[in-house]
Structure 1
Amino acid sequence: MQPTEYNPSSNYQSLIEVTDDTRAAFYRKTYGHVALATLLFIIVETILLRIDPLVELMLSLTQGWKWLLVLGAFMFATNYAEKLAHTTHDKTKQYLALLLFVVAEAIIFVPLLYIAIFYMEGDYFSVINQAAIMTLALFTGLSAVVLITKKDFSFLRSFLAIGFVIAVGAIVAGMIFGFNLGLVFSAGMIVLAAGTILYQTSQLVHKYSTDQYVGASLGLFASLMLLFWYILSIFMSND
């Protein structure tokens, strides 16, 4: 997920210009929407994993160039949702963008969670739960650093953009030449996801205006899910 820079509308106040109470209300709305998006993801994912034809299709697409097509479709849906959420002040369109992104995340997660549930030996739910707990702990800790210190992490944008380009190149090369990217790559992606959380939370504090809590929640949810994907991947590889 590429870091998104948001330019607030002149029709609304920037968060750095409002009272503490207004800012706190914005934060509550934003993280409330992140929680709702996460709950919706769990519900949609549970439904999708019960649709055998969809599961079989997604598993069949995980090899070689077919997965590249899936990733391309996912990136297109992601970019469209983020653009829509950050460039419109129509709440209906913002919520549609968030819904689109949650569904896209649920679909892309089908193969990984199916393998975690049905193919891993041992207590697979424990593995998923441990990955989820660690993800939430890291997300909460990184968000708290920015919200408490008010530090501006906008300088990370260029580094994150370069990092994601390199990551996509590595994924494409791995699929074309058939090599496993391994734990080092997953660890690197966790670092990228952590940097994205810092960046997105910084945007929340310094760049967003008071009407953009839905768009802000989409960016944070995207970073949360990216972090969860690679933490879960590492837990599964160590099981």
Structure 2
Amino acid sequence: MENHLTPNNQVVSTLTEVERASFYRKTYMHLAGAVLLFVLVETLFFQIPPVLNFALSLTGGYSWLIMLAAFMFITNYAERLALKSENTNIHYLGLVLYVIAEAFIFIPLIFIAVMVAEDGALTILNQAAIMTLSLFTGLSAIVFLTKKDFSFLKSILAVGFAIALGLIIAGTLFGFNLGLWFSVAMVVLASGSILYQTSNLVHNYRSNQHVAASLALFASLMLLFWYILSILSRD
């Protein structure tokens, strides 16, 4: 395979301008492919009543926590496959596994969006998609234009996600709604994650890790999409 192992597995920032451009192109092509696969798998899931009903049955109480824990486990496993394996096919397996997991966990949210949409489900989904891609593009441009290293965000994001997870667990266990401002805060956190992951793309990934880079960007993109869609789905 063409992207198996390049000489010395150089850090992208040390490559020539042409080599860096090639790495970025492959990464964003894989990101686009992941988004397309997500749309296809999500559409398929909604055409299979047992899958749809099973996902919807997991949205309450402890069931949601179990699904969230399973999603986090799959996320960690997929990232390990994409980052640590020397086998290109395993990299793709990690990416595909993660996309399928994202499509499954999105079923309840998209179902809610369909239910509350007054002028058609596609309208609210399109609005969320346009807002997400616009913000993602703007944040990515900041990194590429400034060449700033946003690695300092790592500890901030770790603390933020830990607090968010704690609030989600508490809200599920004690039955309180986290509300609009939590979703807004998560949009900010997801935006920070996009800055951080794009900065990693520019400064820290190695030349054979474009699949892993696309997975990380896809995860941040979908987190942003989740909370923008959550905000727009409020009735």
Instruction: Provide the TM-score with structure 2 as the length reference.
Output: 0.95
Q: Deviations over 1:18-40 (max 9, x none)?
A: 11111011001000100000000
| Cα displacement (A) at 1:173 | 0.4
- What amino acid does structure 1 have at the position aligned with 2:49? D
Q: Secondary structure at the match of 1:11?
A: helix
Aligned partners of 2:178, 2:73: CA distance in 1, in Å? 23
Tell me how many residue pairs correspond in the alignment: 230
Q: Deviations over 1:209-233 (max 9, x none)?
A: 1111000000000000000000000
Aligned partners of 1:220, 1:91: CA distance in 2, in Å? 18
Say yes or no: does 1:31 pair with 2:14: no
8 A contact 1:156–1:199 mirrored in 2: yes
Aligned partners of 1:39, 1:54: CA distance in 2, in Å? 20
More displaced 10-residue stretch of structure 1: 29-38 or 48-57 = 48-57
Say yes or no: does 1:140 pair with 2:137: yes
Q: Secondary structure at the match of 2:176?
A: coil
Instruction: Provide the TM-score with structure 1 as the length reference.
Output: 0.93
Say yes or no: does 1:124 pair with 2:121: yes
8 A contact 2:124–2:233 mirrored in 1: yes
8 A contact 2:83–2:209 mirrored in 1: yes
Say yes or no: does 1:44 pair with 2:66: no
Q: Secondary structure at the match of 1:234?
A: helix
The gaps in structure 1 that reach 5 residues or longer are 1-8
2:9 to 5, 9, 12: 12
Q: Percent identity?
A: 59
Aligned to 1:99: 96
Aligned partners of 1:40, 1:60: CA distance in 2, in Å? 24
Aligned partners of 2:206, 2:150: CA distance in 1, in Å? 17
The gaps in structure 2 that reach 5 residues or longer are 1-5
1:149 to 141, 146, 149: 146
8 A contact 1:30–1:217 mirrored in 2: yes
Aligned partners of 1:110, 1:134: CA distance in 2, in Å? 20
8 A contact 1:85–1:93 mirrored in 2: yes
Say yes or no: does 1:72 pair with 2:72: no
8 A contact 2:116–2:233 mirrored in 1: no
2:228 to 228, 231, 236: 231
8 A contact 1:127–1:236 mirrored in 2: yes
More displaced 10-residue stretch of structure 1: 111-120 or 31-40 = 111-120
8 A contact 2:95–2:211 mirrored in 1: yes
- What amino acid does structure 2 have at the position aligned with 1:56? N
Aligned partners of 1:40, 1:118: CA distance in 2, in Å? 24
- What amino acid does structure 2 have at the position aligned with 1:210? S
Q: Secondary structure at the match of 1:81?
A: helix
Aligned to 1:211: 208
Say yes or no: does 1:87 pair with 2:84: yes
Say yes or no: does 1:201 pair with 2:198: yes
Q: Secondary structure at the match of 2:208?
A: coil
Q: Deviations over 1:47-77 (max 9, x none)?
A: 0011111111111110111100000000000
Q: Secondary structure at the match of 1:110?
A: helix
Aligned partners of 2:210, 2:13: CA distance in 1, in Å? 14
| Cα displacement (A) at 1:119 | 4.7
Aligned partners of 2:155, 2:7: CA distance in 1, in Å? 26
Aligned to 1:191: 188
Aligned partners of 1:43, 1:189: CA distance in 2, in Å? 26
| Superposition CA RMSD, Å | 1.3
Q: Tell which has more relative contact order, 1 or 2 (C-alpha 8 A, sep 6+).
A: 1
